[in-house]
Amino acid sequence: VTSRTLSRQTPLAGDSYAAFLAELSARFVNTRIELLDEVIRDALRRIVEFLDVDRCSLTRITSSREVVLVSAYSPPGVPPPPPGNACAQLPWYANELVHGRIVNLTHPSDLPPQASDEQAYMQDSGMRSHLAIPINVGGMPTCALSVAMFRRAMTFTPEFIVSLRLVGEVVANALARRESEGRLRRMEAELSHLTRVATVGQLAASIAHEINQPLCAIVSNAQAALRLLTQGKSAAGEVRAALRDIAADSKRAGDIVSRSHRLLKPRELSLQSVSVNDIVRDVMTLMHGEILIRHLRARAELQDDLPAVDGDPVQLQQVMLNLFVNAADATATVSPGDREVTIRSEKVDDQVRVLVSDNGIGLTPDVAARMFDPFFTTKSNGLGMGLAINRTIMDAHGGHIWASANSGRGVTVTLSLPARAPARTPASRKA
């Protein structure tokens, strides 16, 4: 058996490898997620060519600790890797990677005795050498990059291992990005579902649309009437017609407003025994993506053994979501590392309270006075309906909502809900 070290033929640490890596990284960064598979395949091919190896594979190490083939490149004449889940077929190998250990085999005889499946596999496929490097993202191995030799054996030098790990990290980060974007999309879908449940967004759009029509008609009729009057012609009939139209359109707009007023009242509450802490946890989960994107430090300090409240879980979630988003928005001017949102829960007398605090811009007296008014907003993309609806919902629950400035920076918005009377036990009935 001949084995050669590769460092002699390939200038791994040299400029050309650095250039190769840089180009690969740039490709991954600029790639649209949908094209990632293609770019990965191409990268594996180029690794094979650049490092002069026979096969290069990328496997994913899943959160349930399975090792699954993502992609591989082998030139004609070289057998492809076994597809699918390596755990079942190569248990020793999979176990090493799951535990973050490098598998470095110059010869099949380097395998330990217990790796009998792996020995059989190398024998049957004609594999001479194999190197697999698990790559950590966020402290956990998330994938492994491996190369295999069939034409000849190869000793993998520490330098070679470092180089392969560097490429692996580039690929692993691209994969991680795809996964987090996938999570984000799922979360957005959930959020938009919630918005539909709440109907506020939809309602606002349709109100705007419906009101726009009569308003346009009013404006053009008013302009026509003005023109007729300034021209000084006696056109009393036409002016009267224009004014009649204006009155009719104004009434239409007014009807739309009063109709939407009714709609904006919360739907029938479906009251049930609700754990406020559970809702806070749900909101934190839903906001996970936002928290990452906005560089927020979000904390929940939840009091144990909090009594339940009588509430509509969907509506209470809607309230807390708006408070969370408001708090997050308020920290937009704080530097990214320092943005904080804290949700606390506590019991005060017979009330359960949820306090949403931020260290953001705080309240001017003007904002403090008007923030709960419908359509009051200081945001370019805000509707100003969040807190107004929140207050309606809290009223319907027999609760309260208020905002106060923190002693330091930022604002705390407090929700207060009557604690549900504890279930009566025979003992308490006697007492």
Ligand X SMILES: Nc1ncnc2c1ncn2[C@@H]1O[C@H](COP(=O)(O)OP(=O)(O)OP(=O)(O)O)[C@@H](O)[C@H]1O
Q: Which residues bind ligand X (CB under 6 A)?
A: 322, 326-327, 330, 358, 360-361, 363, 367, 371, 376-379, 382-388, 411
In the bound complex, what is the minimum distance in angstroms from residue 378's beta carbon to ligand X?
3
- Give the integer Cα–Cα distance in Å for 81 and 148: 9
Binder of residue 228, out of ligand X, Mg ion, none (CB less than 5 to 8 A by kind): none
Shortest spacing between CB 177 and ligand X, in angstroms: 29
The residue (of 187 and 361) whose beta carbon lies closer to ligand X is 361
Backbone Cα Rg of the chain:
32
Q: How far is the CB of 254 from ligand X (least distance, A)?
A: 23
- Among ligand X, Mg ion, none, partner that 378 touches (CB below 5 to 8 angstroms by kind): ligand X
In whole angstroms, give the CA distance from residue 424 to residue 7.
79
Q: How far is the CB of 357 from ligand X (least distance, A)?
A: 8
Comparing CA positions, the residue from 225, 51, 63 lying closest to residue 148 is 51
Q: How far apart are CA 36 and CA 33, in angstroms?
A: 5
User: Checking DSSP bridges between strand 55-61 and strand 3-5, what pairing results, if any?
Assistant: unpaired
Helix axis angle for 386-396 and 313-330, nearest 10°, is 150
What token pair was written down for 8?
């002699």
- Of all residues in the shown chain, the one whose CB is closest to ligand X is 386
Give me the helices (H) in 199-287, please: 200-230, 236-264, 276-286
Which of residues 245 and 329 has its CB atom nearest to Mg ion in the complex?
329
Least CB distance to ligand X at residue 190 (A): 18
Q: Which is nearer to ligand X, 180 or 406 (CB)?
A: 406
**Closest to ligand X by CB, 97 or 393:** 393
Residues 386-405 that bind Mg ion (CB under 5 A): 386
- Among positions 314-353, residues that touch Mg ion (CB under 5 A) are 322, 326
Name the binder of 142 from Mg ion, ligand X, none, CB < 5-8 A by kind.
Answer: none
Nearer to ligand X, 286 or 385 (CB): 385
The option from Mg ion, ligand X, none interacting with 376 (CB < 5 to 8 A, set by class) reads: ligand X
Could you tell which of Mg ion, ligand X, none binds residue 361, using a CB distance below 5 to 8 A set by kind?
ligand X
Looking up tokens 């739309």, which residue turns up?
Answer: 256
With vertex at residue 352, the alpha carbon angle to CA 351 and CA 358, rounded to the nearest 5 degrees, is 125
- Both structure tokens of 16: 């050309």
The minimum distance between CB 387 and ligand X, in angstroms, equals 3
**Number of C-beta neighbours around residue 32 at 10 A:** 7
With CB under 5 to 8 Å by kind, the binding choice for 132 among ligand X, Mg ion, none is: none
Q: Closest distance between ligand X and the C-beta of residue 339, in Å?
A: 12
Measured over the CA atoms of residue 389, residue 395, residue 396 and residue 399, the dihedral's sign is positive
Residue 341 binds which of ligand X, Mg ion, none (CB < 5-8 A, kind-dependent): none
Are 46 and 58 in contact, with CB atoms under 8 Å apart? Answer: no
Encoded tokens for 431 = 């007492």
Q: Could you tell me the CA-to-CA distances from 34 to 30, 60, 84, 101, 131 in Å, in that order?
A: 12, 18, 21, 31, 29
Give whichever of 26 and 332 is closer to ligand X, judged by the CB atom.
332
Q: Which two tokens stand for residue 235?
A: 């056109």
Residue of minimal Cβ distance to Mg ion: 386
Q: How far is the CB of 239 from ligand X (least distance, A)?
A: 40
Nearer to Mg ion, 374 or 418 (CB): 374
- The DSSP-derived string for 133-178 is EEEEETTEEEEEEEEEESSSEEE--HHHHHHHHHHHHHHHHHHHHH
> Where does this chain bind Mg ion (CB under 5 A)?
322, 326, 386
